[in-house]
C-alpha cells in the first residue's frame, strides 16, 4: 500500500513539473508572438534587406521592363512574377517545446 502511495506522490510531482514546463512554454510562445507582432512595421524593410542578401543583385526596373517589352530576356516573366508576389512573413516557431 505504501508503494502505491509513493507512486501516486511521484506522479503528482511529475504532473506539477509538466504543468510548470507547460506554463513556461506558453509564456515563451506568447512572448515570441508579441515580438513578431511588434516587428511587423519593420518587417517589409527587414525582408527587403534579407531578400537582397539572399539573391544576387537584381536588374533595375527600367531594364526589366524594356527586356520584357523586347522579349530579349527569357526569364523576364519570371522576374515579374517574383516581384509581384509579396514576401512571406518570417516563420514563427509553432512547437517551441515538445514534451
**Quick check: 64 and 80 in contact, CB under 8 A?**
yes
pTM tops 0.85: no
Domain count, the chain: 1
Model pLDDT, residue 99: 47
Residues in CB range of 93: below 8 A, 6 or more apart: 32
Model pLDDT, residue 76: 46
The CA distance from 80 to 71, in Å, is 13
Q: Assess if residue 59 is contained within a domain.
A: no
The CA distance from 87 to 44, in Å, is 8
Model pLDDT, residue 11: 95
Q: Assess if residue 34 is contained within a domain.
A: yes
Low-confidence ranges of the chain (pLDDT < 70): 37-99
Q: Assess if residue 5 is contained within a domain.
A: yes
Q: Assess if residue 84 is contained within a domain.
A: no
Give the structural domain span for 26: 1-38
Amino acid at each position: 500500500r505504501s508503494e502505491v502511495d509513493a507512486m501516486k506522490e511521484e506522479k503528482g510531482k511529475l504532473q506539477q513539473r509538466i504543468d510548470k514546463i507547460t506554463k513556461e512554454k506558453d509564456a515563451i510562445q506568447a512572448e515570441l508572438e508579441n515580438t513578431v507582432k511588434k516587428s511587423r512595421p519593420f518587417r517589409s524593410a527587414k525582408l527587403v534587406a534579407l531578400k537582397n542578401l539572399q539573391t544576387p543583385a537584381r536588374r533595375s526596373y527600367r531594364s526589366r521592363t524594356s527586356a520584357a517589352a523586347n522579349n530579349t530576356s527569357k526569364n523576364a516573366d519570371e522576374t515579374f512574377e517574383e516581384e509581384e508576389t509579396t514576401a512571406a512573413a518570417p516563420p514563427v516557431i509553432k512547437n517551441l517545446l515538445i514534451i
